[in-house]
């Protein structure tokens, strides 16, 4: 199945219950190794664009599923991956990934400066509003 085409072809406005099913589908596709992390990131990005238009928070079980996967993918040696994951931390309010990102600043003193900056900017942008990505709307 071409997940990228499927998700990029979706209308921008989708009922939240249908969107929930799409998030579950992509989580399962990744967990069952039907897609790699590149496709997972791209599909999440497409679904995030649609989630924004619902003006609703992502369901807790979906958020936790995404959080778990992205924590396992966390790699402070890859700027693109850190950039993708920090974007999702902000968009979905991912608690475990947020803590992992903060811990990585302490644990990895020799991290690339660009990667460190992305993480620091993410922490600053979130402030105390991690669980409500719509706080500034």
Which position has the higher pLDDT, 77 or 130? 77
pLDDT in tens, 85-129: 999 999 999 999 999 999 999 999 899 999 999 999 999 988 776
What pLDDT score does 104 carry? 97
Tell me what pLDDT residue 131 has: 67
Unique residue bearing structure tokens 């993480």: 119
> How many residues are recorded in the chain?
137
pLDDT tens for each residue of 42-67: 999 999 999 988 888 899 999 999 99
Q: Position of tokens 């989708």? A: 14
**Cβ neighbours for 49, distance < 8 A, ≥ 6 positions apart:** 12
């Amino acid at each position: 199945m071409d997940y990228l085409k499927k998700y990029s072809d979706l209308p921008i406005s989708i009922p939240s219950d249908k969107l929930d099913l799409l998030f579950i589908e992509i989580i399962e596709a990744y967990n069952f190794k039907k897609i790699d992390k590149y496709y997972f990131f791209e599909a999440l990005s497409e679904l995030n664009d649609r989630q924004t238009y619902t003006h609703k928070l992502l369901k807790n079980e979906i958020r936790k599923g995404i959080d778990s996967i992205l924590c396992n993918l966390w790699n402070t040696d890859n700027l693109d991956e850190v950039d993708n994951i920090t974007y999702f931390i902000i968009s979905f309010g991912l608690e475990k990934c947020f803590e992992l990102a903060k811990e990585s600043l302490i644990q990895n003193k020799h991290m690339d400066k660009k990667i460190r900056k992305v993480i620091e900017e993410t922490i600053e942008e979130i402030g105390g509003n991690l669980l409500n990505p719509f706080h500034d709307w």
